[in-house]
Amino acid sequence: MFTNSPTQSITLWDKQIFVKRDDLLDTHFSGNKARKFYHFLVNDFPHIKYIVGSGSAQANSLYSLSVLAKINGWQLDYYVSHISEQVKSQYTSSTASQTNYAKSLENGANVLAIDWQRQQFSDCEHLDDAIEVLKPQYIERYGDKVLFVPEGGRCEFAKTGLKQLAAEVLEWSKATKQNDVVVFLPSGTGTTAVYLNQQLALLNASNDIKVQVATCCTVGDESYLTAQFSQLVDDVHLHPIILNDGNKYHFGKLYLPLYQLWQEVQQSTGVEFDLLYDPIGLSVLKHHLNNPIFADKTVLYLHQGGLIGNQSMLKRYQRKLAKTNVRK
């Protein structure tokens, strides 16, 4: 269960590209977060009753953690900096309950906004600091029954599922006789890209296939991403290649040219990609497709799921487009 996603061939910008469809791993537990939280599915945690996570109220990781908690019978407390009125209204309005936030509440998650006015958080700058303040309180109350999961699954545990993904990629490469493969995926924290590259190198120690991971930033810049890689994998030779398309993007911001590119890809291939990370990934891929990094190699794009989040992104794009059209 939750393994062996299919690989599909598409033609994009006159080149054959393979897509590893991790969005199809499972209807409820899919994509990149399913890989990162796989560890908690295949190992037993008999003493755990509570999990504590943090991040954004619209994040894919919130939804995946809520599914994981439900499967295991755990109570999830998920902390966020802030819940906007718009996000809250997504839960109350019956037409738009298909968001990460709404579906997580349905799964029984407690989504809790930090009350930054409180004395105990007065020295905190970031959400991570607030979690550090809360940790001892959880441990005092629940002892070893509580498990803390860092934001976005940025932790050692992620290695288990990414080793499995690396094995699937190598198996596919061998079965289809692809011997010079570049796996491309957009990064947030970089956890997926760096562990995937590391595990591919370890599993392919005899080097019978040339396989390399390339990625791009969607959060912060290249120095942020490199620092994230180094936190998880010391050996810089095992870090993925970082590419860009010459533009700087801010995470979660709307870019109409990227939206158009995303639409073009959907129309020409029939594959729906995510609207938060993939538009940047697809733009960087297009930019470099004829460069040595990709030319003459087998390109395998990793579809990392996240499609539930598309509903709210599509609404935001439609509002932006409506405003742009009025101005014209």
Ligand X SMILES: *Cc1c(COP(=O)(O)O)cnc(C)c1O
Choice between 139 and 227, CB closer to ligand X: 227
CB of 193 to ligand X, least distance (A): 6
User: Strand 298-303 to strand 15-21: parallel, antiparallel, or no bridges (unpaired)?
Assistant: parallel
User: Strand 7-12 to strand 15-21: parallel, antiparallel, or no bridges (unpaired)?
Assistant: antiparallel
CB of 305 to ligand X, least distance (A): 5
Choice between 53 and 188, CB closer to ligand X: 188
CB of 285 to ligand X, least distance (A): 14
| CA 31 to chain CA centroid, nearest Å | 7
Q: In the bound complex, which residue of the shown chain has the CB atom lying closest to ligand X? A: 306
CB of 169 to ligand X, least distance (A): 16
Tokens 């940047």 — which residue? Answer: 280
CB of 187 to ligand X, least distance (A): 4
CB of 325 to ligand X, least distance (A): 29
CB of 144 to ligand X, least distance (A): 27
CB of 55 to ligand X, least distance (A): 9
Choice between 189 and 199, CB closer to ligand X: 189
Choice between 31 and 53, CB closer to ligand X: 31
Choice between 21 and 178, CB closer to ligand X: 21
- Which residues make beta-bridge pairs with 110? 77
Choice between 57 and 193, CB closer to ligand X: 193
Choice between 209 and 308, CB closer to ligand X: 308
Beta strands in the chain (DSSP E): 7-12, 15-21, 50-54, 75-80, 110-113, 146-148, 180-187, 210-217, 241-242, 298-303
Q: 196 near 164, Cβ under 8 Å?
A: no
- Cα distance between residue 87 and residue 11, in whole Å: 37
Q: What is the DSSP letter of 102?
A: H
Torsions phi, psi for 83 (to 5 deg): -120, 115
Q: Which residues contact 20 (CB under 8 A, 6 or more apart)?
A: 5, 7, 168, 169, 172, 183, 300, 301, 302, 303
Choice between 172 and 195, CB closer to ligand X: 195
**What does the binding site for ligand X look like in residue numbers (CB under 6 A)?**
31-33, 60, 152, 186-193, 274, 277, 304-306
Q: Which two tokens stand for residue 249?
A: 């993007």
Torsions phi, psi for 110 (to 5 deg): -95, 110
Q: How many CB atoms lie within 10 A of CB 199?
A: 24
Q: Which residues contact 282 (CB under 8 A, 6 or more apart)?
A: 258, 261, 262, 265, 273
